[in-house]
Amino acid sequence: MSHIPYSCQDIDDDDIAAVTAVLRSEYLTQGPMVAQFEDAFARRVGARHAVAVANATAALHVACLALGVAAGSRVWTSPNSFLASANCALYCGASVDFVDIDPVTRSMSVAALRGKLERAAECDELPQVIVPVDFAGLPCDLREMRELADKYGFALLEDASHATGASYQGQPVGSGHAHATVFSFHAVKIVTTAEGGIVTTRDAALAKRLRLLRSHGMTREPRDLLGEADGPWVYEQQLLGYNYRLTDLQAALGWSQLRRLDALHKARVALADRYDLLLRDLPLLLPARLPDRVSAWHLYVVEVDGARTACRRATLFDALRRAQIGANVHYIPIHTQPYYTSLGFKRGDFPAAERYYARAITLPLFPAMTHAQQDRVVDVLRGALR
């Protein structure tokens, strides 16, 4: 019985040829392929600017900095996310807080956000940046969040690490509902550069700061120099940046993968539709379908419906793992992690995220998954739930 992973990269001969071509070229580090990948990505998601960096964690960090997050700032995010969505604020010396999730979208709840903003406004403790997460690839409630951003004056930094190829109200995610949008190209994500990330924005000044921050705060552009140039060799450090550059090897892989985004997405949609059909009579809560948005289907997460079965999530998980099926759980609420409880958060703070977590299980989903593999997953679930 072969192992079925929960996720798996999809590399073809064109991807390999694109990377190999870079190995034979002049540049290995950040060079012309990075610019080519950025242009292609910006075009694909309808963004004015795209700035590629070493990974999405770095992308969240520089996006926070470019949006002005600093010591004393407040940043809010969703507890149902990967650690990086919250850590990025702490890197900048800011404080982090969470907004509970909507049980339907499993992303940040607009109602909870509105209430928390009203209370924060009263005591003059409004956040500077809010980081909603497009959980599992389903876009969060971007229109309502942008309205709140405009009303309360915070910047919306969308963590779309799961959502490459998703769309919201007819527009691609990353095209400009948020002030800045971050995507991840980690190997398990929709398209991969092995490790990599990108920030898209409509704001030219923000894009310029992001380019400085990813490479030591340094520029060689004659028209951007603040001082008098001693000569054509001059480079200037204008702020404190990092070495967060993507390599041309990675960008070539990303550029090649991006050309297949539609096909990769179509395969995920078909598998998600098939899961819906095969699982509909089981005591499971299936992922939401909303008429105004298209999920990227990074993850297919079901919740064990305690009202209809005595079977526990752990039992299902064990059954799947015993059958060589790579079930997973996304996510342990960030605020319950030891590091975050050491900052003062505690179990019970965000009950919807905790309730969701207690019964969630991520089923395998990747473009090359066969119907036979999917049937095996469903058979094990059916057996365990009987």
Ligand X SMILES: *Cc1c(COP(=O)(O)O)cnc(C)c1O
Among 38, 97, 159, 349, binds ligand X (CB under 6 A): 159
Among 9, 30, 77, 81, binds ligand X (CB under 6 A): 81
Q: Which two tokens stand for residue 176?
A: 């400009």
Judged by CB under 6 A, how many residues of this single chain contact ligand X? 14
Q: Alpha-carbon distance 174 to 384, whole Å?
A: 40
Among 49, 106, 162, 335, binds ligand X (CB under 6 A): 162
Which stretch, 78-86, 107-115, 365-373, 374-382, contacts ligand X (CB under 6 A)? 78-86
Residue 13's Cβ-side half-sphere holds a number of Cα atoms within 13 Å equal to: 0
The least distance separating ligand X from the CB of residue 189, rounded to whole angstroms, comes to: 6
The least distance separating ligand X from the CB of residue 217, rounded to whole angstroms, comes to: 21
Helices (H), 101-141: 110-122
* Sign of the torsion formed by the C-alpha atoms of 153, 157, 163 and 165: positive
* Nearest residue (CB) to ligand X, 55 versus 128: 55
Phi, psi for 29 (deg, rounded to 5): -85, -160
- Verify whether residue 266 is a known catalytic residue: no
The least distance separating ligand X from the CB of residue 179, rounded to whole angstroms, comes to: 17
Which stretch, 22-30, 76-84, 225-233, 360-368, contacts ligand X (CB under 6 A)? 76-84
- Binders of ligand X in range 328-357 (CB under 6 A): none
Selecting among 116, 151, 189, 208, the annotated active-site residue is 189
The least distance separating ligand X from the CB of residue 187, rounded to whole angstroms, comes to: 9
The 21-60 site mask, x for binding ligand X (CB under 6 A), equals ----------------------------------xxx---
82 binds ligand X (CB under 6 A): yes
Q: Which two tokens stand for residue 272?
A: 């998600």
Strands 167-168 and 171-172, by their bridges, are antiparallel
Q: Alpha-carbon distance 298 to 161, whole Å?
A: 9
The least distance separating ligand X from the CB of residue 164, rounded to whole angstroms, comes to: 11
Q: Which of 40, 34, 67, 70 is nearest to 53 (CA)?
A: 34
Q: Which two tokens stand for residue 82?
A: 């990967």
Output the residue with the shortest Cβ distance to ligand X: 56
Q: Alpha-carbon distance 385 to 379, whole Å?
A: 10
Contact 58, 38 (CB under 8 A): no
Q: Alpha-carbon distance 274 to 72, whole Å?
A: 48
- Binders of ligand X in range 193-212 (CB under 6 A): 197
Q: Could you identify the residue written with the tokens 């990948």?
A: 37
Q: Which of 365, 364, 375, 331 is nearest to 77 (CA)?
A: 331
The least distance separating ligand X from the CB of residue 17, rounded to whole angstroms, comes to: 24
Which stretch, 115-123, 154-162, 242-250, 280-288, contacts ligand X (CB under 6 A)? 154-162
164 binds ligand X (CB under 6 A): no
Residues designated catalytic: 189
Contacting residues toward ligand X, per CB under 6 A: 55-57, 81-82, 84-85, 133, 159, 161-162, 184, 186, 197
